[in-house]
Chains A and B, each alone.
Chain A
Amino acid sequence: MSETFAGRLPGSPHAGPPSSRQGSSANLADILERVLDKGIVIAGDIQINLLDIELLTIKLRLLVASVDKAKEMGIDWWEHDPSLSSRARAPDPLDGRAHRERQLVDENELLRAELARLRNGERKAVTEEGTEEAG
């Protein structure tokens, strides 16, 4: 029975060259998605509930967004739009450089946009925009 298993034969696709395998270079999101959410679930003696709130927060933030948010974030400029970026951002700060950098980028864009508005004549722009959005 076991002899028929291709994976044990040298050179089989199962035992393919190391470079083609999803080894240490594999994308972390892909790995986390699998080791956190997939695989066999057996209750070990040490009870770690991977669905705990904090961990779930990490997962939601780093891996997965809701379908609605995915739609939102699927539009890149929308994500960076100063007036909407607060919606596109997850509320909980994660201690990490990426998050702080992201905050700074958003803040920077917000300030730039405001500056541009002021330079271009705030009143006129607001009037035009208001008319457009209403119509």
Chain B
Amino acid sequence: MSTTERTDARTDARTDARTDGRTGARAASRERASEESVLPRLPPREAPIRVYVYGISRDDGSLVPLAGAGGGVDGHDVRLVAEGGLVALVSAVPAEAFDEEPLRRRLERLPGLEELARAHHAVVDAAFARAPVLPLRLATVYTGEERVRGMLLAHRDAFTEMLTWLDGHVELGLKVFVDPAAASSAAHPSPEPAPEPTSPGREYLLRRRRQRRGTEDLWRAAEAVTAQVTRAVQDTVRAAVAHPAQQGELSAGRGVNVANHACLVPANTEARFRAEAEAAGSGVTGVRVEVTGPWAPYSFASPVAEGGEGGAPPR
């Protein structure tokens, strides 16, 4: 079935379902306008639009239920653009909000960034619940649907190959935390009895020394736990990458993150992975192991080299 047929069918359904007369009328008028009717939910027709792309999957019908259900960035509908056996999850968005300048301004403010990131992730996640999906990096925006089709065609082989490779797998985060409170508490007492402090200054220094020693022990324990957990889950993991530890304000209060891995795991061994990680990570005071996910395979959808991103990240 051709893309146009499918899109028209969706448009009919939308027109029927919507009680909003304005939107219905607009959709109807778009249909009369025929070939451009693929992105019916727009501000006034002359308003320029952009196409925001969330991810890519196979064009096998799995994601059709997601289309037209809202839930995209800024509440825009999620739509499907199919080409070459692949389908892109997109939203039609107003250019005034998604052209370079407004988008950049938005991304540089944490609330705007968070909103966009969560919406992007929500669409990827919903798709991932139904089918293998390649998440695109945040804020991949095209000037029109034809451009998205061209992108799908241009990378068809690479995308298809990646989808095959990732099929049936989930990404799990494996994080190891050190609890700083355990370092400053009496969890690691000084091996030699502390001499009587002779002054507040000396007492302060002795206390600091004990704290430092406790912290060093804790770091060593965390390293050991990380190695142990990594070994424990090894058999269930198809691929793994180490992300930088999360040390910023967003992760404050969760302990200090010392290891932050992403693991590609066959979906049917996820439970085993969790059990192994939990077992290997338990029993060490002040060290905590956390498994996150399942995630869409963000960390294993290899970037397609295109030279448009200004080179590799400066890591």
Contact = CB atoms under 8 A, between A and B. Distances in A.
B292 interface: yes
B292 A15 contact: no
Contacts of B79: none
Interface centre among A65, A73, A74, A96 (most CB of B within 10 A): A74
Contact of B306 (A5, A43, A99): A43
Contacts of A55: 107-108, 113
A38 B306 contact: no
Interface centre among A47, A75, A102 (most CB of B within 10 A): A75
Contact of A63 (B120, B246, B301): B246
A16 to B, nearest CB: 7
B31 interface: no
A2 B202 contact: no
B190 interface: no
A14 B251 contact: no
Contacts of A29: 246, 248, 250-251
B256 A22 contact: no
B131 to A, nearest CB: 6
* Chain B interface helix/strand/loop/mixed: mixed
Interface stretch (B1-9, B121-129, B226-234, B275-283): B121-129
B229 to A, nearest CB: 18
Contacts of A51: 309-310, 313-314
B299 to A, nearest CB: 5
Contact of A42 (B130, B132, B151, B204): B151
Residues of B in contact with A, size category: 35 or more
Contacts of A121: 200
A77 B249 contact: no
Interface string B120-157: 11100100111110111111111100010001000100
A12 B298 contact: no
Contacts of B299: 34, 38
Contacts of B246: 29-30, 33, 63-64
B4 to A, nearest CB: 22
Contacts of B130: 7-8, 15
* Chain A interface helix/strand/loop/mixed: helix
Given A40-B303, A75-B212, A35 B138 contact: yes
B258 to A, nearest CB: 7
B217 interface: no
B294 A21 contact: yes
B137 A54 contact: no
Contacts of B91: none
A44 B173 contact: no
A82 B271 CA distance: 45
A30 B173 contact: yes
Contacts of B45: none
B301 to A, nearest CB: 5
Contact of A22 (B125, B167, B244): B125
A37 interface: yes
B205 interface: yes
Given A6-B267, A31-B118, A46 B141 contact: yes
Contacts of B304: 40-42
Interface centre among B131, B137, B141, B262 (most CB of A within 10 A): B137
B43 interface: no
24 contacts: A8-B62, A8-B130, A13-B270, A14-B294, A24-B118, A31-B118, A34-B121, A36-B137, A38-B135, A39-B138, A42-B151, A44-B53, A44-B308, A46-B103, A48-B107, A50-B309, A54-B108, A55-B107, A58-B110, A58-B113, A61-B248, A62-B249, A62-B250, A65-B248
The 8 closest A-B pairs by CB, nearest first: A43-B308, A76-B180, A125-B201, A128-B201, A65-B247, A34-B298, A46-B141, A38-B298
Given A16-B294, A32-B117, A39-B138, 4 more contacts: A7-B168, A30-B292, A39-B135, A41-B137
